């Protein structure tokens, strides 16, 4: 089977019952049975919407992902969600180490690795995020930052089947700025050298108008989409761009 581009929608902290259901139905109904597509979609709604979205995706090939998990399977961790719980509610994937969590929740690469290991043990595919800050890029440290994050964030349980890397330059997330094709080529080649066969996604202001170009760059195995994943039609246009 040829490799399918992975198109991951990160809804972040957006979604109440009505709009989440509507978006999931629109996306699921645009995938026809008995038709083959050059992409595989994963939707990552907020935790409170996972059951509802799982219900709407039943019988479709679309995967479901959490946006974070704890490193323990259960216990006295008020407010946390374990990888086992995500698996139990129907998740196939989990995003770990998103830059918003690294910055706002002070997650380190070491804690990302323990979470990823827990997710692997629970049978989830991890989407491990790495990426440099604007200041790190302008001071010429992007390569070093990304390489360091990869080394420290990837646990020993990692295989090409259970791990995807998402390169998300922090300055490009939600800003409307996208890394240049040359930058994406350069960093993805660097990541490829570090991670071998693991699929590598690009994330950072991906939209319908730039997805085609980005998805066809070397070593880009898919995209992680934030803002544009909240509009079902645009998100599907991004996915369809894999085949153009």
**Nearer CB in complex with ligand PEP: 84/112:** 112
Q: DSSP assignment, residue 70?
A: B
Strand partners, 196: none
Per-residue tokens: 124: 């989830």
Count of beta carbons in the 10 Å neighbourhood of residue 91: 27
Candidates 113, 206, 215, 236; binder of ligand PEP (CB under 6 A) is: 206
Stretch that binds ligand PEP, among 22-30, 77-85, 153-161, 226-234 (CB under 6 A): 226-234
35 Cβ contact list (under 8 Å, min separation 6): none
3-state secondary structure of 118: helix
> Which residue is associated with the tokens 């992007």?
142
* Total residues binding ligand PEP (CB under 6 A): 14
Q: Where are the alpha helices (DSSP H) in the chain?
A: 17-29, 50-57, 83-88, 99-104, 109-121, 134-138, 142-153, 181-195, 208-215, 232-240
Candidates 226, 232, 236, 242; binder of ligand PEP (CB under 6 A) is: 226
User: Which residues 2-31 are close enough to bind ligand PEP by CB under 6 A?
Assistant: 10, 12
63 Cβ contact list (under 8 Å, min separation 6): 40, 41, 42, 43, 92, 93
- The minimum distance between CB 109 and ligand PEP, in angstroms, equals 17
- The minimum distance between CB 156 and ligand PEP, in angstroms, equals 26
Closest CB to ligand PEP: residue number = 226
- The minimum distance between CB 104 and ligand PEP, in angstroms, equals 13
φ, ψ for residue 43, nearest 5 deg: -105, 130
- The minimum distance between CB 204 and ligand PEP, in angstroms, equals 5
Per-residue tokens: 181: 């094709």
- The minimum distance between CB 74 and ligand PEP, in angstroms, equals 28
Per CB under 6 A, 179 contacts ligand PEP: no
**Nearer CB in complex with ligand PEP: 84/220:** 220
Per CB under 6 A, 107 contacts ligand PEP: no
Per CB under 6 A, 203 contacts ligand PEP: yes
Per CB under 6 A, 65 contacts ligand PEP: no
Give the residue numbers marked as catalytic. Answer: 98, 168
Per-residue tokens: 17: 């019952």
- The minimum distance between CB 231 and ligand PEP, in angstroms, equals 11
**Nearer CB in complex with ligand PEP: 84/236:** 236
User: Which residues 145-174 are close enough to bind ligand PEP by CB under 6 A?
Assistant: 168, 173-174
> Which residue is associated with the tokens 């997710």?
119
Nearest Cα neighbor of 10 from 204, 198, 180, 178 is 204
Q: Using CB under 6 A as the criterion, which residues of the chain lie in contact with ligand PEP when the complex forms?
A: 10, 12, 168, 173-174, 203-206, 224-228
């Amino acid at each position: 089977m040829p490799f399918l581009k992975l198109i991951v929608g990160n809804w972040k902290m957006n979604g109440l019952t009505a709009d989440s259901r509507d978006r999931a139905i629109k996306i699921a109904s645009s995938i026809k049975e008995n038709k083959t597509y050059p992409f595989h979609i994963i939707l990552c709604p907020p935790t409170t919407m996972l059951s509802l979205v799982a219900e709407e995706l039943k019988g479709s090939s679309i995967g479901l992902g959490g946006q974070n998990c704890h490193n323990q399977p259960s216990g006295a961790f008020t407010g946390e969600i374990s990888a086992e719980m995500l698996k139990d509610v129907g998740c196939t994937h989990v995003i770990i180490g998103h830059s918003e969590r690294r910055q706002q929740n002070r997650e380190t690469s070491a804690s990302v690795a323990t979470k990823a290991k827990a997710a692997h043990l629970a049978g989830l595919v991890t989407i491990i995020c790495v990426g440099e800050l604007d200041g790190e890029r302008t001071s010429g440290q992007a390569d070093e930052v990304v390489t360091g994050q990869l080394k420290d964030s990837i646990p020993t349980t990692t295989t090409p089947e259970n791990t995807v890397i998402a390169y998300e330059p922090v300055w490009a997330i939600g800003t409307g700025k996208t890394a240049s094709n040359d930058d994406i080529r350069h960093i993805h080649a660097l990541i490829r050298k570090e991670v071998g066969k693991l699929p590598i996604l690009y994330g950072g202001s991906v939209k319908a108008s730039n997805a085609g170009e980005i998805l066809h760059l070397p070593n880009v195995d898919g995209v992680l989409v934030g803002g544009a994943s909240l509009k079902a039609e645009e998100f599907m246009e991004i996915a369809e761009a894999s085949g153009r």
